[in-house]
Amino acid sequence: MPGMTEQLTKRQQEILAFVESETARRGIPPTVREIAAHFGMASPNGVWCHLRAIEAKGYIKKEPGASRGTSITRIPGKAGAFPLVGEVAAGEPRLAVQSDGEALTLDEASGARPGDFLLKVKGESMTGAGINPGDMAVVRPGGDVSNGEIAVVMVGEEDATVKRFYMERDGRIRLVPENPAFRPVVVDPRVMHVKIVGRVVGVLRRY
């Protein structure tokens, strides 16, 4: 909503910026304790109060019961804007790097809805699915991904990749490219940290 930026206090703006930057840098939002530590706040209760206020003003959405369940729904000063939070590899897993805070205003035809965000695609492993280098994947955050759907997945603590997702019967996760020049990535979440960042619900391309 135009003018909503004035409703955020200085500290709320700082917390929102920190959530956005950490989500971009790590591919996952910070926990309440991490936010408290960053701002030198003695108790997480103060962070909760700020987050509830920021959510009430329409900038974030909190997933109940999830320690990292904060997703950005609006960029201050840009109604209908979706954050471009970084890059994700369509190839070998690599670090998702922070963007310069760019945001795009999308209409309903893009398939985006509040809470989604954008990741710029690097690499060519998903060209068979129509996802090319430089495209922007519209990502719906959360772990609700079915076999065969395209997802952004964290492998290890900081590496992110976009692939077709499959959960094997033995508990391993298989991440399958859409380019015969690339091999599937198979990981065992029992021995390596794996997190589903979100499901790819659309692709945008600039010409």
Between 67 and 207, whose confidence is greater? Answer: 67
| Residue whose tokens read 């077709």 | 164
Count of CB atoms situated within 10 Å of the CB of 146 = 10
pLDDT in tens, 104-139: 655 544 566 667 778 888 889 999 999 999 888 888
Q: Into how many domains does the chain fold?
A: 2
Answer whether residue 167 shows pLDDT above 70: yes
Domain, as residue range, for 170: 81-204
- Are 57 and 103 members of one domain? no
**Per-residue pLDDT at 169:** 92
What is the 3-class SS of 1-44, one letter each residue? Answer: CCCHHHHCCHHHHHHHHHHHHHHHHHCCCCCHHHHHHHCCCCCH
pLDDT in tens, 2-28: 334 447 888 888 898 888 878 767 767
Q: Which residues have a catalytic role annotated?
A: 125, 163
- Are 61 and 120 members of one domain? no
Average pLDDT over residues 171-187: 94
Domain boundary among 72, 90, 111: 72
- Are 98 and 142 members of one domain? yes
